[in-house]
Amino acid sequence: MTPTISRLALAALALSASILSAEPAVAAVACGSGNFDAWLADFKTDAAAKGISQQAIAAGLAGVTLDQSVLNRDRSQKVFGQTFEEFSGRMVPPRMQRGSNMMKQYGSVLSRIEQAYGVPGEVLVAIWGLETDFGVNTGKFATIRSLATLAYDCRRSEQFRAELMDALRIVQRGDLAPGDMKGAWAGELGQTQFMPSSWMKYAVDFDGNGKRDLLHNAPDVLASTANYLAGYGWQRGKDWQPGGPNFAVLQQWNKSEVYSKTVAYFATQLARAP
C-alpha cells in the first residue's frame, strides 16, 4: 500500500495479543516452536475442525513456507511520525487530478453506492487513492504466506491465526484463488487494503457477477469500502471533518489521526474540484 506503514500495523503497535487460548482440548503445536511445518500441519487440522473444506485448505496452504522478510518488517515497524502537513502535502496533491477523474469515471456507481450505504463518493475515492493509488499498488506479498508467518510468530499469533482462517474462507467461498491473493506484508488485500476478516464481513458483490472481488473490480472495491464505513456507524449526510460525527468512523478505518485527517482533507478537496 502507498503509506509507509500498514493500516493494520498502525492499529497493532499498542496491541500485545495473548498467546494462550483456553479453547483446544488437544495440545496444539505452539507458535514459534522452531518447527513451522509441524505448526502448519496442526493448523490444517484446526481449520478442518472449524469447517473449512479440505479443498480450500490444500489449495491455500500447499507449499507455504515461513517468510523471514515479513518477520523483519514486523520487527522494524516505526511509529508513524509525520505531521498532517507533511503527510497530506506528500500524498494529496499528486493524486488530486486522478482522483477527480475517478469521481467522473465512476460517477454513476458512486451515486448508487451512496444511495445504498450513505457514504459519499469523495470519501471512498480519497481512501482508494491513499491506500493503493486507485488500485495501482496493491502489494506483492503472497497473502496466505504472510498470514501464516505472522500466525506462527508469537507476537500476535492468535490475531493472525484468525486472519489466516478467514483467508482460507475467502478461497472456499470462491472470491479469489490463492495465487491471486497478493497484497501488503501484513496481509491486507485489495484496492483499499482489507484484512481477510474485514473482507469476510464487509465485502459485497456490487456488480452482481457472483464474486466479491476487491482486487480487480472497482464497483466491488468502492461498495465494500462504503459497507465497512457504514458498519462502523457512518451517518448519512453528516460531516467527515475532524470534530464531525463521521471523523470517528474514519478513525475506525485507520487509527492514525494524521491518516484520518488526510482522508478527510482529500475528500473535501475532491468535493470542491470542478
The CATH number of the domain holding residue 230 is: 1.10.530.10
Chain position carrying cell 488526510: 262
In a domain, 229, yes or no: yes
Res 224: pLDDT: 98
Res 8: pLDDT: 53
Q: Both 151 and 133 in a single domain?
A: no
In a domain, 257, yes or no: yes
Residues 98, 181: Cα–Cα separation, whole Å: 26
∠ CA 186-242-8, rounded to 5°? 5
Res 7: pLDDT: 55
Coil/strand/helix, residue 231? helix
Q: Both 147 and 255 in a single domain?
A: no
User: 179-193: buried (b, 16+ CB within 10 Å) or exposed (e) per residue?
Assistant: eebbbbbbbbbbbbb
Q: Both 123 and 168 in a single domain?
A: no
Q: Both 207 and 120 in a single domain?
A: yes
Q: Which residues of the chain have pLDDT under 50?
A: 1-5, 9-27
In a 13 Å sphere around the CA of 261, the CA atoms on its Cβ side amount to: 13
Res 30: pLDDT: 84
Coil/strand/helix, residue 272? helix
Structural domain harbouring 231 = 97-137+203-272
Cα 198 vs. chain centroid, distance in angstroms? 7
131 catalytically annotated: yes
Q: Both 265 and 239 in a single domain?
A: yes
Residue tagged active-site, from 114, 131, 163, 188: 131
Q: Both 62 and 169 in a single domain?
A: yes
Res 112: pLDDT: 98
